[in-house]
Chains A and B, each alone.
Chain A
Amino acid sequence: MRAVLGGAAMVTVVISALILFVLFRGAIDFFRSIGWDFGILVDDSAAPGWFPRRERFDLLTIVLGSIVMGLLAMIVAVPLGLGTAVYLSEYAPPRVRRIVKPAVEVLAGIPSVIVGYFALKFIAPNIVDPIFSPDQPRNMLVAGMAIGVLVVPIMASICEDALRAVPMSLREASFGVGARKSTTTVRVVLPAAVSGIVAAFIIATSRAIGETMVAAMAGGRDGSGPRVLSPLEPGLTMTAAMTNAAGGTDQVKAGAPFQVLFFVGLLLFVLTMSLNMIADRVVRKYRQKY
């Protein structure tokens, strides 16, 4: 029995090894296809961009796309998620908590493709268009806001855990010298929970960068596009570039335009993995404190 159960646990190691193998092998194939010409990864033409079928792979285009949409997402998720967490942990009466907490959990369970639909059919026409009137209905702002909605529950639940881990005795100490609830929250509880909040931020950022469907549906570019920075322009993330390379319109699964997905995948893997590991370390640090 021990061997059977142990074998099941080993499967996870095999999975990791296979992910690494597949990504590395594909990335090497990609570089072989482009003749190890790394210069191709930074397009220095007058109009740089990501045009895989024309063999133009400007990494900056998709990395910037991911960063811009990730940033927009965090601008939405940090105030909403942290605010909700502080409210739930410090202010909410039990009755309200019994409603708000499950609602946040339901939001966490909404499939991202449905959030993508919401971005296209609500955020774009009803929020972004009337306020910013962008040239294209689908743009980085629409996608970023929707990704933000998607990661709010992650931000909220990890922050709430961190706030609840702050011992009650610290709050009592603060109230005991006549501090207000708001002062206690800002000056005692939040500083004591700061590493948990930082970890929540990193994990949520990692999720936002790894999010695929919303970026693909609402980002506004189908597999290629110029390098842009403005949130009101359509943009392309690393993840959307991957799905487009795999599926897309042409079914030919060969050559650099296809193989590039492994290289981008490797980059994304390393990026999210590093973020998660940093968050893990930060979390472990705050566990030691109490």
Chain B
Amino acid sequence: MIQVQAVQPERTAESSVVFSVRDLNVFYGEFRAVRDASFDINENEITAFIGPSGCGKTTVLRCLNRMNDFIESARVEGKVQYHGVDLYDPQINSNEVRRRIGMVFQKPNPFPKSIFENVAYGAKLSGRFSKTEINEVVENALRQAALWDEVKDRLKASALGLSGGQQQRLCIARCIAVKPDVILMDEPCSALDPIATARIEDLMQEIKKDFSIIIVTHNMQQAARVSDRTAFFTTEINPESDRRTGVLVEIDSTRKIFSMPSDERTELYVTGRFG
């Protein structure tokens, strides 16, 4: 078996670390989906996870806010520290974790409720806001998600009537309204057309001053366009069981990954000769 050592970049002095992940292994039953991933995520940056399908990038992403808790067979080993707190400590309340580390999913998944109710949902849960404050929270979230002007006259209309791109921005607004610290995005544009994709990408640039963002994407151009840092994952075939396990090859500044990566496999992938 080839031993892969993830290359750790030197950290820039001014950015502080949000996530510090060490020796992360994820199993689905007997099957090891991710092996020995170690990396740091910086605050107020956009980090992109790229790699061929099956490389475990979504699996790793879902470890960061304990979304894997809902998969019966999933087991997580290693350390996932969020601002120095171990997220897999048995003392941790996973709902509190997801309030701070929100998630936007591959397919837009608005609730079959009104636009207003969708955005207000998470904010109401926290119980931190009064009724008038909720209205404000919803408006701000929709403004931040660049959706306000399109929907302000029909907040009571069903969210299912919006276009795909609008639905995805609504999901981002729903996430923002909870005032999280980190937003995880799992291929948020894969179901959208290029114009809607461009709007989401602009939006990410807008909001990165307020949030740390991690985006999983299968689209290398997107990673190159939007992210400050990029992590490249790939698959390794176990010769004994012929099963694929995801490994983190390297994580570095996006410019470096796409121009002069340290690992040959990264270069093959980003130049389109593999994957």
Binding site for B on A (CB under 8 A): 93-94, 167, 169-180, 183, 187-188, 191-192, 289
- Whether A178 lies near B98 (C-beta < 8 A) is yes
State whether the Cβ of B72 lies closer than 8 Å to any Cβ in chain A: yes
Known contacts A178-B122, A180-B95, A173 near B72 by CB under 8 Å? no
- Whether B105 lies near A169 (C-beta < 8 A) is yes
Interface centre among A169, A174, A176, A191 (most CB of B within 10 A): A176
With a cutoff of 8 Å between Cβ atoms, the chain B residues found around residue A170 in the complex are 109, 111-112
Smallest Cβ-Cβ distance to A95: which chain B residue:
B72
Smallest Cβ-Cβ distance to A188: which chain B residue:
B111
Binding site for A on B (CB under 8 A): 65, 67, 70, 72, 95-100, 102-105, 107, 109-113, 121-122, 125-126, 171, 174-175, 177-178
Q: Is the interface of B mostly helix, strand, loop or mixed?
A: helix
Give B214 Cβ to nearest chain A Cβ, in Å: 13
With beta carbons under 8 angstroms apart, the residue of B65, B99, B126, B174 that contacts A173 is: B174
- Whether A178 lies near B125 (C-beta < 8 A) is yes
Smallest Cβ-Cβ distance to B124: which chain A residue:
A187
Give B129 Cβ to nearest chain A Cβ, in Å: 14
A263 to B183, CA, bound (A): 66
Known contacts A94-B72, A183-B125, A187-B121, A175 near B98 by CB under 8 Å? yes
With beta carbons under 8 angstroms apart, the residue of A171, A179, A191 that contacts B122 is: A179
- A/B pair count, beta carbons within 8 Å: 72
Smallest Cβ-Cβ distance to B98: which chain A residue:
A178
Give B188 Cβ to nearest chain A Cβ, in Å: 12
Smallest Cβ-Cβ distance to A94: which chain B residue:
B72
Nearest 6 pairs between A and B by C-beta? A178-B99, A177-B122, A176-B103, A169-B109, A178-B98, A173-B109
Known contacts A178-B95, A178-B178, A179-B122, A173 near B67 by CB under 8 Å? no
A191 to B158, CA, bound (A): 14
A170 to B72, CA, bound (A): 18
- Whether B113 lies near A191 (C-beta < 8 A) is yes
- Whether B178 lies near A173 (C-beta < 8 A) is no
Give A185 Cβ to nearest chain B Cβ, in Å: 13
Q: Is the interface of A mostly helix, strand, loop or mixed?
A: helix
- Whether B111 lies near A173 (C-beta < 8 A) is yes
- Whether B125 lies near A176 (C-beta < 8 A) is no
Give B100 Cβ to nearest chain A Cβ, in Å: 8
A176-B105, A177-B98, A179-B121 are known contacts; what are 11 more A-B pairs with Cβ within 8 Å? Answer: A170-B109, A171-B70, A175-B70, A176-B67, A176-B98, A176-B104, A178-B96, A178-B97, A178-B126, A179-B122, A179-B125
With a cutoff of 8 Å between Cβ atoms, the chain B residues found around residue A188 in the complex are 111, 121
With a cutoff of 8 Å between Cβ atoms, the chain A residues found around residue B65 in the complex are 176
- Whether B175 lies near A177 (C-beta < 8 A) is yes
Q: Give me 7 A-to-B residue pairs in the complex whose CB atoms sit less than 8 angstroms apart, sorted by A's number.
A: A175-B67, A177-B99, A177-B121, A178-B178, A180-B125, A188-B111, A289-B112
- Whether A176 lies near B113 (C-beta < 8 A) is no
With a cutoff of 8 Å between Cβ atoms, the chain A residues found around residue B105 in the complex are 169, 172-173, 176
- Whether B178 lies near A177 (C-beta < 8 A) is yes
With a cutoff of 8 Å between Cβ atoms, the chain A residues found around residue B171 in the complex are 173
Give A174 Cβ to nearest chain B Cβ, in Å: 7
Give B184 Cβ to nearest chain A Cβ, in Å: 8
With beta carbons under 8 angstroms apart, the residue of B102, B107, B112, B113 that contacts A177 is: B102
A171 to B67, CA, bound (A): 11
With a cutoff of 8 Å between Cβ atoms, the chain A residues found around residue B174 in the complex are 173, 177
Known contacts A177-B98, A178-B95, A178-B98, A172 near B125 by CB under 8 Å? no
Smallest Cβ-Cβ distance to B119: which chain A residue:
A177
